[in-house]
Amino acid sequence: MFEKAVLLLGGNKGDRFTLLKAAVEAISRLGELTLSSGIYETEAWGGVAKGPFLNQMVEIKTTCSPFELLGFIQQIETDLGRKRDEHWGDRTMDIDIIYFGERVIDSPALQVPHPFLAERKFVLVPLAEILPDLTHPIIGKTNRQMLIECQDRSEVRVWEC
């Protein structure tokens, strides 16, 4: 059975654009790439990372379970040079599962929908671009509504390569 997974990709170390393209290509091997946002340059969030990120949201149709998908995307991060030295620190690639169908998952290894998505403009801007009317299964608001109500004032701008 196929499910749609929504993933946020981003990084702020190395050749950000090349790494983002490589991540999208690797993810497309896990299923059918059905949607992708534009690329955004965003301020670092959380007070640890130093440089701006490039971010992109994608949706894939996959037969992977949520935990299989998590394993695959963590391997993609590693293959693209990710080092897990510092929580919310600088990184070559970070891939988060934002939504997995309409599932709600709360385990130590994986939380879906992503627990901070409503608080982060760098997540909501590309998410509202590709899926504005998708309703969060816990909050009960659309991605567009959450973006309008988001208190995060960090800059998120379309990146021109």
* Annotated active-site residue in 15, 84, 90, 96: 96
User: What's CA 33's distance to the chain center, in Å?
Assistant: 14
- Our separate counts of H helices and E strands in the chain read 4, 8
96 is catalytic: yes
* Annotated active-site residue in 90, 91, 120, 133: 91
* Annotated active-site residue in 84, 85, 90, 94: 94
Give yes or no for a contact between 117 and 127, defined as CB atoms under 8 angstroms apart: yes
* Annotated active-site residue in 29, 79, 82, 153: 82
- Residue 114's alpha-carbon distances to 18, 64, 87, 111, 156, in angstroms, are 25, 18, 16, 6, 19
91 is catalytic: yes
Residue of 145, 89, 155, 90 lying closest to 117 (CA atoms): 145
For residue 38, the SS3 value is: coil
- Residue 32's alpha-carbon distances to 1, 24, 26, 42, 62, in angstroms, are 13, 11, 11, 27, 7
144 is catalytic: no
| Catalytic residue numbers, as ranges | 82, 91, 94, 96
